[in-house]
Structures are given as C-alpha cells and as structure tokens.
Structure 1
C-alpha cells in the first residue's frame, strides 16, 4: 500500500524533507512506520517520547493501522497558534455566522476581527493579541518563523470555536494566526470573543488561547544572532503517541 508521510518543525530537518509518498506492507501501524524511519534516521529517537502523530488530519496513536491513501504526519509538540485573514494567501480560511477562523502571512489585529463579529446584542468584546517579544531566555530575538500543518490546524481552530460556543454563553468567536516570518512587535495570534456579558467572554477567550497552544499543529522557530531553535510546547494529552 502507498501512504503520504509529512514532517514538521525540527523533524523535517532531521529527515531532510517535508514529506514523501512511501510503499509499505499491509498491516503496518503508525508505530511501525516510525520505527522504519528511526532506523534510517537515528536522531528521531531523541524525540520519541514527545512525538505526536496524526492520521488523515486527526491525532492518532502509534497502534493505529495504516491503509491505502492515508496521510500521516510526524508532529513535534505544538508551540503556539494558527490563524489568518479572509484574504489569506494560504487559502486556509473558514467563516460561518459569528465565527472566523483563518491562517495568513499578512498582518492581523484583534480590532479587525471585532469589527466583523460585533452585533447589537453584544455587551462585551474581549480581545487578545500575542505579540512577538524581543527577548527569549535572556537572548535577544531577531525574528520568529511560524510553520503549521495548515489543513489540520484550521480544522482544530474550528473545533476550538465549537467548544467555546457549546461551553460558554457567547455570541461570536474569531481566531487568526500568522504564519511565516514575523518581526519584533508584530501580532502572531489574535482572538476575539463577543457576548452579552463580560464574564463568559473573558473565560472563553482564556480557554481559546490555552486550547490553541495545546491542540493546534503550529510550530515556532526563534532566530538569534548566533543561530536558531525550534520551540516545542508541552506534549498534547488530546493526541496520543501510544
């Protein structure tokens, strides 16, 4: 059988490519596929305990069996958000009534989301922006790069929005995140929640950024004068590595 395998973050640097189509024997699992790559690229074993996997753009276990045409991704723990604008140059955007979700390499702002979401029944609008800092771990940061598994990332942003609407008394939600190179002071992620009352709006906005940093497959690379490093977040308990 033939499957597509994708690599992100520092994993693509270890493998030396972003992805490939491979022929496999029937009955092999995701764990078996990983072992095959680890035998060719021993440095993968350094990430074995933290590595996540997805199958057809959903988190998966090492024990999951593979089938013809599957799309498998090897994922480092995510390090932060996803998003964009309705004119996203990635083509990754989604909008329903009271919902905005997208990825972009253009500048973003919470205020632009608020203008599109706010309606007459709203008595509260909570905005959050994540900003690129000029320092990390005592080192001066030159700029950041964000990379995403874009189709899966957009799906997970939609999932977060649906969670918010089910669990909080809110009206509208907008989530946008930059991709590509970001300079110091630029907005990397923007989240807006509108509601009749302030308490659910604040709570939903906090939940949104916490979930985004946990389940949305996006990775950050920090650049310094003496090199660069991929930043990994905590391992996602929603996904399983087996």
Structure 2
C-alpha cells in the first residue's frame, strides 16, 4: 500500500504539472503513454513488438497522436489511414500463410484505434483555445471523482454486485456513489467558470464521464480476465501498466469530443 501511495503521488504530480504546462511537454507525455500502452496491448495479445503487425499498430498510434499539422505535415484523413492499416494487416495474414491470423490483424487494428485515438482526444482537449486546461481538468476531475466515489462508497455500503463475472469487487452502490461525486465535481467547475460552461452542461459531462469511465474500467477488466492476467504492465509499481491506469480516460475523452460536449 505504501509503494502504491508513493507511486501514485509522484506520477499524479508529474502528470498534473505537465498538463498545466501544456504544449509539447504534455503532448510528449501522452504520446509516450500511448506508445507504452500499445506495447502492453500487443504483448497481451501475444505479439512481439518487432512483429510487422505490431509495427503497423504503432504506426497507427503515432498517426493519431503526433502533432502533424503543427509540424506543417499534411496526411490523409483518418478513414483513409484506418483502411490502409486494415489492408496492410490483412496482407500480413497472406504473406505469413495465416501464421498471423485474421483475428490477430483485427486485434492490432482495434488496438491502434483504441489507444491512439484515446490519447489523441486528450491532446485535442488540452489544445482547445483559451480554456484547454479547464476542459482537461473538468474531464479528469469527473473521472477521478467517479473512481474515488465508487471506491469509498462501495467499501462503506456496497452490497449488490455490479458485474461479478467481470469485476467481482465492484458494487451498484459504489457505482452510484461515483456518479454522484462526479456530478458534484462538475457543478463546482461550472460555478468556478460560469462564463465557460453552464451547470446543466456540466452535469451532462459529469454523468457521461462517470458512467463511460466506469464502463471503460470494466472493458479493461473483461479483457484482462479473457487473457488471464492481473495487470496490463508493470510501469507503475502497485498500479500496473498504462492501460490499467488510463482505461477510463481512453473512453471518456473520445466520447466528449464525438458528442461535441467540448468545443474544439
């Protein structure tokens, strides 16, 4: 527990500090996390990092996360890149005579999209004109509040299991506690910056961040159960890997952008 606490404080302080600084420092951190996260994903699925399918997956992650426009580089749109990745990954199944199966090709394409666009969405939110830091902290604040609320309410009064076959320790009471605390945090942000966001919109973001964030956690739990592993990696002692820590983020940030709840 002591190791977990110390690691959490140091990693959290570093992350928040770079988020405040923003720019290349924050982008660089998220790109690094995306690379490590995809490496964890590839290993979870039995791929060596040097495998051609893994290399293509890394290329997809970098396509989504690197600031190409800021560098003056024009690349094809996402649909074109996704199709090209799919074509190349499927071609590997032919070249290797099905040593790499179509299932493996699909997994690498899914991983590149899941990890790459997830972290890219965080970079996009931070880059929002004038209020990028506000929108980032609002989103993270609601996600973290949901985690804290679910943990403590679940421990205090949790009785009914939420999804025992996937995550046996989570309870319905804990999940509701997480939603309520996320709503409270969202309202505090709205009251702090009423010129940026209304209370009503903040409540919508709070609910979405809590529910989608908890679902993102369950998605990772389900996947680890299928692969029969406890953690996706060992980057953070006591906390597991990047995908263990960022599972909620990878779902919430894309949803907030796709639903246009954050202006970009």
Q: TM over 0.5, yes or no?
A: no
TM-score (norm 2): 0.29
TM-score (norm 1): 0.30
- Name the structure, 1 or 2, with higher relative contact order (CA <8 Å, separation 6+): 1
Which structure has more helix as a fraction of its residues?
2
Which structure has more strand as a fraction of its residues?
1
